Amino acid sequence: MDWDDLRVFLAVARSESLSGAGRRLNVDPATVGRRIARLEDAVGARLFSKTPQGYALTEEGARLQTHALRAETAIDGASESVRGPQGLTGQIRIGAPDGSANYLLPQVIQQICDANPGLEVQIVALPRVFNLSKREADMAIAVSRPEAGRLTVQKLADYTLHLAASRDYVARHPPILGLQDLQQHRFVGYIPDMIFDKELDYLAEIGVAAPALASNSVSVQLNFLRHGAGVGVVHDFALPAAPELVRIIPDQVHLKRAFWLIRHADDGRIERLNRFADLLLKLFRQEVVRLETAVV
C-alpha cells in the first residue's frame, strides 16, 4: 500500500470532499478522485460513500483511517528524530474558543514564533468542540475536560470571570449594589441554544434569564458591552483590551473556569508537538496571570 495514497485518503477523510482535499494537498480534485479509486482497488473495498454533505467514511474506511493515522504519526515522529532538536518548524494548527483565541493566543503564539522563525501557526477560532480524530487541528483548547476518546489532556490555566458594563452604561442606569438589582438591567450573553459547553452557561449560574442581546461569539458580546448595550459576564483576561468596561459587584459574582489543552493520544510520539505544547503551557499560564493582575 502506497503511503502517498494514504495521505490523500486522510485528506479526503478530514475535509469530506475531493475539492477540500485537493486544496490541502495542492492538487486537482480529479487527481484526488483517481487516487482514492486506486486505493479502493488496492484494498478491495469502498472507503467513502457520497452523501449530500460530502464524502463520508464507510465502515471499511473508518478501519483504514485508524491505521493510516498511526502511520502518519510514525512518519512525523521519524522526521522529527532525524531533524534533531533545532528550532521548531513546519505548520501547527490550534483549535480554540474565541475568548482565548482573541485575547490570549495571539501574543503567546507571537512569542513562540519569534523564537522559532521556521514555525507556522494557525489559530482556528470556532465556538464548538474540535474533532482531533478527524485532524481538524493538531491540538485544541477547551473549557471542559473531555471524558472520552483517545486523547491526552493537560490543564492550561485557571481563569476568572466577572460581571462588567461600560462606564457610560453604569452612569445612565440604576446602580447595581447586589444580585437583586440585576433584574432591572439588560443582559448580553450567549445565544442559549448555541451554548456548546455547559461551562459557558454563565448567566444561568448567577440566576439571570436569557439575554436580550446575544451572540455565539465572545468578541461580539464584548463589543456589545463596550458600546454600552448592557451588562454581561466577561473574562478578566479580556478586560485590559476593553478599558471602557468596569467590573460590577465583583465581591458577589466571581466565576472560575479552566482551559484544557487536548491532543490526540498518538501525537505524544511527535517531539515537535511535545515541545510546542510545553512552550504553550508555560507562556499561556504566564499571560493569564499577567492580564488578570492588570485588572483594577
Q: Which domains does the chain have, with CATH numbers?
A: 3-83 (1.10.10.10), 88-296 (3.40.190.290)
Q: Which residues pair with 192 in a beta bridge?
A: none
Q: How confident is the model at residue 85 (pLDDT cuts 50, 70, 90)?
A: very low
Position 65 scores a pLDDT of 85
Is pTM beyond 0.85? Reply is no
Please give the pLDDT value at position 227: 97
Confidence of residue 62 (pLDDT cuts 50, 70, 90): confident
Q: Which of 48-52, 157-161, 193-197, 209-213 has the highest mean pLDDT?
A: 157-161
Rg, the chain, Cα only: 23
Task: Give me the amino acid identity at 276.
Answer: F
Contact yes or no for 259/284 (Cβ under 8 A): yes
Phi, psi of 100, deg, nearest 5:
-70, -35
Task: Name which of 238, 228, 234 is nearest 248 in CA terms.
Answer: 234
pLDDT grade, residue 78 (50/70/90)?
Answer: low
Q: What is the mean pLDDT of residues 172-186?
A: 94
Per-residue pLDDT of 117-169, as tens digits, reads 999 999 999 766 666 666 678 899 999 998 877 789 999 999 999 999 999 99
Choose among 214, 91, 230, 82: nearest CA to 169. 230
